[in-house]
Amino acid sequence: MTARPASPAASPTGSTDAAITRELEAWFPAAARALPWRTSPRDPYNALVAEAMLQQTQVSRVIDRYTAFIARFPRVNDLAGASEGDVLAMWSGLGYYRRARLLHAAAKAIVTDHHGVVPHDPEVLRSLQGVGRYTAGAITSIAFDRPAPIVDGNVRRVLMRLHGRAFAPDDRDAERWAWTRASELVHASASPAVFNEALMELGATVCVPPPAAPRCDQCPWAGRCNARREGTTNQIPAPKAAAKQRVVCCISLLARDARGRFLVEQRPSSGMWAGMWQLPTLERETRWPDDAAIRDFAAIRGLNLPTPAEPLGTFTHQTTHRIVRFRVLAASPIACNRKSASRTWVDSFDGLGVSSAQQRALALGITPGRGQTTTPSSRPTPARRSPRR
């Protein structure tokens, strides 16, 4: 359980925190989106799964995956007892696959160390892999209705605008201030579950991030918001310098055998898309591999490339930290093609953990020409501490 703050902070327009929280709690029931994890009563395991999926991923992408994931692993014991391959397969398309492994590890720890019961104490929750301060606070408050603060990009932005606090992007006090303020408010709330979820909802749907303008006319705090009164909503939060993205160039080979199956490989257990399956793919930082390197790469896998190579298409996949360029080339198996534990022939990607980028690569082979030189479209929502819901 989190400690109650020592002293209340000054509130906008001098109102008490209790009054501020009641306004938001009263607004939420009519404003809340119907989302599959918003069940009544809340299930702590479902909340853990939803929070893991929502990290760095938009709600719209999570909804279908969440429903299928819970159908496949309805209880924490089901997830704990599943193979990593099954878990990754059910995570396919969500990206940031490390989250799936950490969730899997957390489920195992809940079963072995907590008798299969999701803990309610945020400090105990944080001992689980992949559960940070935000996720612990979200589960404690939303699933158990206990006062624990949450701060992500949405919450930080709402609180900063409400109080008119324009912190510099690199000001570490901003994070500390936001957690303190969130803690004061959730302790003053009538229902920590309703208040915290309402705070998330307000940031996701009303007090939205730039470049969109906040919809202040729909905000329950419009009458008390300092940024609105001072006309500074477009200056809070101050813009951050864009993160530098690495460029990775990938040549993926689509080879089919006489039965129409295609060759796939499993990626190494660390690094980008760790442990996921893919078409044989040669990667280089910054520049494209030359023709000789591509042919060597193919030959080692028992594949042959026509001369000249037959391009099936290109596309670009963006992540927060990388711009990944793909060229998909047609290849054919030669007589003695090589299989191994991490390389095999399959009819489809079904049942395998596959990144959305590789699903696009395969689609180019199934529908030649589709996606030729496409613009980036796979960039996930910015980091969790940015808009995500």
CA 100, CA 92: separation in Å to the nearest integer? 10
User: Parallel, antiparallel, or unpaired: how do β-strands 310-318 and 322-333 relate?
Assistant: antiparallel
Residue 47 binds ligand SF4 (CB under 6 A): no
**Cβ atoms within 10 A of the Cβ of 91, count?**
23
Is 222 an interacting residue with respect to ligand SF4 (CB under 6 A)? yes
149: cis peptide before it, omega within 30°? no
The reply to whether 228 sits near ligand SF4 by the rule CB under 6 A is: yes
Report if residue 178 touches ligand SF4, rule: CB under 6 A: no
**Of residues 312-341, which lie at the interface with ligand SF4 (CB under 6 A)?**
none
Please, what is the minimum distance in Å from the beta carbon of residue 236 to ligand SF4? 8
207 binds ligand SF4 (CB under 6 A): yes
Task: Check binding of 161 to ligand SF4 (CB under 6 A).
Answer: yes
Where do we find the tokens 């307000």? 202
**Residue of 143, 222, 153, 214 lying closest to 182 (CA atoms):** 153
**Between residues 31 and 109, which has the closer beta carbon with respect to ligand SF4?**
31
Q: Residue 146 or 228: which CB sits closer to ligand SF4?
A: 228
In 3D space, the residue among 39, 56, 275, 239 whose CA is nearest the CA of residue 157 turns out to be 239
Does residue 221 touch ligand SF4 according to CB under 6 A?
yes
Distance CA 250, CA 316 (A): 10
219 interacts with ligand SF4 by CB under 6 A: yes
Does 154 bind ligand SF4 (CB under 6 A)? Our answer is no
- What is the pairing mode between strands 246-255 and 322-333? parallel
Q: Choose the catalytic residue: 51, 184, 197, 201.
A: 51
Q: Which is nearer to ligand SF4, 235 or 320 (CB)?
A: 235
- Tell whether residue 216 is a contact of ligand SF4 (CB under 6 A): yes
Map residue 254 onto helix, strand or coil: strand
Least Å distance, CB 158 to ligand SF4, is: 5
Q: Which is nearer to ligand SF4, 209 or 289 (CB)?
A: 209
Position among 119, 153, 214, 371 found at the interface with ligand SF4 (CB under 6 A):
214
Residue 27 within binding range of ligand SF4, rule CB under 6 A: no
Task: Choose between 234 and 377: whose C-beta lies nearer to ligand SF4.
Answer: 234
In angstroms, the CA 246 to CA 267 distance is 19
Task: Find the DSSP H helices in the chain.
Answer: 17-31, 44-54, 59-72, 76-80, 84-91, 98-113, 122-125, 133-138, 144, 153-163, 172-188, 192-205, 226-230, 291-300, 356-366
The C-alpha angle with vertex 102 and arms to 383 and 46, in degrees rounded to 5, equals 85
Residue 184: active-site member: no
For the bound state, the minimum distance from the C-beta of residue 55 to ligand SF4, rounded and expressed in Å, comes to 23
Using rule CB under 6 A, residue 225 touches ligand SF4: yes
- Shortest distance, CB of residue 168 to ligand SF4, whole angstroms? 19
Residues that bind ligand SF4 in the complex, under the rule CB under 6 A = 158, 161-162, 206-207, 214, 216, 219, 221-222, 225, 227-228, 233
- By annotation, the residues acting in catalysis are 51
